[in-house]
Amino acid sequence: MMKKRFKVIQQNNKLSVSFFLLIILSIIHSYAQQTLSSDIWVNIQKNIQRLVYEEDTDGDKKITIDDHFTGNTRGDKKFWIIGENNLRYEIIGTYYLSNLLQELKLCQDNGYKVAKLNQERIFENHVHRISRCIREIYWDELSRRIDEESIIPLFSDKKTITIDGFQYIYVPYKDNVAHEYFLEISRQHPELKIRVIRLPEIVTPEWVQSRNGYHGLLTLALLRTPNGGLRGVPFVVPGGRFNEMYGWDSYFETLGLLEDGRVDLAKAMVDNFVYEITYYGKILNANRSYYLTRSQPPFITSMALAVYEHLPKNKMSKKWLVNTFQAAIQEYRNVWMGKNRLTEIGLSRYFGEGIGPPIEVEPGHFDAVYTPYAKKFGMNIVDFEEAFKNGKITVPELDTLFVHDRSMRESGHDKTYRWDDRCADFATIDLNSLLYKIEVDIARTIETLFSDSLMQKDGKIERSSTWYKAAKKRKELINQYLWDPVHGLFFDYDLVNKRRKVYISATVFYPLWAGLASREQAESIVRTAIPVLEMPGGIAASTKESRGDLSENRPARQWDYPYGWAPHQILAWQGLLNYGFDEIAYRLIYRWLYTITRNATDYNGTIPEKFDVVKRSHAVFAEYGNIGTEFNYITKEGFGWMNASYQVGLNLLPPNLLIKLEKLIPPEWLWQ
């Protein structure tokens, strides 16, 4: 039986209203509700124009709860679709009207002037619709490749604009195939004004600084096609202005892809990271030339093992895993245990190498920092910034400041008051938890899958005992320096002041995710952190007390209270489940999924980068605003790790709570 959703009326102005007619119409109406086809033919453009005029009262090209009644019928949340044969179908309610707008827009974008609308899509359950859109639309819309077929859309990004008007593609020194391939593209497409630059054999911070004004894309992996051509290995971008492959985003996106059966795309993400380690020396913050000296939180072994679980267990997949772990070991030793990131206490830190300010920030971002120095040199801010960025003016204090700023960006937590703007001075609990997990992953994988012997490309044999020993040593150091028995939590260690920094953030859950906490420590973390970090919408990035008071001179930062982020939620969920705190994990999952669902329901399908978890709102204005909230008519991307958190969370949520979520029952009704 078809769902009885639409009200149907056959218009005929020539007939007078009579008792007989009312009876006939009643019969027709009753019959239509039971036999109405789900396919409704409508004029797309006319219905979009009418719908937007009548219900989008604030003019943002979306239908949301912020569109208020303005008189007559405008904004009354009731709309009549006009279909074929002048049939009219009534739809009532913000959510259903926003679905209608999205479905009409999809038809229009596909080139249809007249098309069939499916009532099942318009009245689709909130949860089912969000999950289906992620699975069927958003992953594909966020997928990219770097090759001839895909290069034009990548060049539409404003971050590829240079001072000489050319589009720059940077190729690794040792990748001759990629160099010739992109040179040929530049010759075949002179209209694109492409310049292909081979990187120097050794990339230095000085060289990266010398490219200011001429930065561009870094190539990723290429594969041979059956006809002998080359095709870029695909990857997923976060969305919005983040139009490249990012370091830690990719791990969480991979988890979402695997939930949705996109194993090949998830595997391709790992392949691109192996390429980055092989040719650039590290997994990059993202694949743009100004990121060559900076990495991001390391998840490669967790990422590879998650993909391997979904691959057929044969020689080919095992060889793939061997190749991936060889790269992981290379990055671990050269980057995270290298001279810039390994500290004197034996634990590691984030350290964003480079010279000058980070290039990726929005214009004006550092104006307040530059102002006193510009005055000192008798220059305006713009001229001072340009001179400083290009090394024409030396200011040691600014050099130090930007070392810490780039280190904070390497951590992925940009920005936060957690380190008092001295990120490079701290051995952090999040990074060292991740490295402990890598050590354990390598040890267990060598022991169980590689017969306790993994040969590196240089012929060196890796044994599980080496890596178990490294993990044991790191765990001892973490407990010595980062565990605070008074507060019962892990904190970052201030290497300069020789003490732990008491700052309660969501990173307290990383040791649970990595499995390095003892049972007693896990219980203490849950007992202490959950009451102060759990908010109506999920886990907050920090406590309000730790963040401190805000003012005009100390504005809000996006990786602090009251904001919540998808990676923190996923890591906290899994960490709690690892130690048997299932009920707490399910409660947190429900809070987060409810927040996503409620916002998408009320705001035309919005899936943002982050939330204010205190207010359960996507209305976030700290620093960079909120990616994923600005679109017209329909979002076709969502946001990478937010999409992933939804799919992962739905898979973890018990059936009884999933039923509650489908009914949009607020968490406070379930947990008092």
Which sequence positions are flagged as catalytic? 414, 609
- Residues 350 and 347: their CA atoms lie apart, in Å, by 11
Comparing CA positions, the residue from 291, 165, 289 lying closest to residue 215 is: 289
- Residues 57 and 67: their CA atoms lie apart, in Å, by 5
Relative to beta strand 114-118, strand 39-43 is antiparallel
Amino acid at 387: A
Phi, psi angle pair for 173, to nearest 5°: -55, -40
Neighbours of 395 (CB within 10 A): 16
At 116 the three-state DSSP class reads: strand
With 0-12 / 13-18 / 19 or more C-beta atoms within 10 angstroms meaning exposed / middle / buried, residue 307 is: buried
Q: How far is CA 296 from CA 334, 341, 357, 486, in A?
A: 14, 12, 17, 31
Beta bridge partners of 81: 89
- Residues 412 and 611: their CA atoms lie apart, in Å, by 17
Comparing CA positions, the residue from 156, 211, 212, 155 lying closest to residue 185 is: 155
Comparing CA positions, the residue from 139, 142, 144, 98 lying closest to residue 121 is: 98
DSSP letters, 538-598, are EE-SB-HHHH---BTTB---TTSTTEEEHHHHHHHHHHHHHTT-HHHHHHHHHHHHHHHHH
DSSP assignment letter at 235: E
DSSP letters, 608-637, are -SEEETTTTBS---STT--TTS--SS--S-
Residues 6+ apart with CB under 8 A from 670: 587, 590, 657, 660
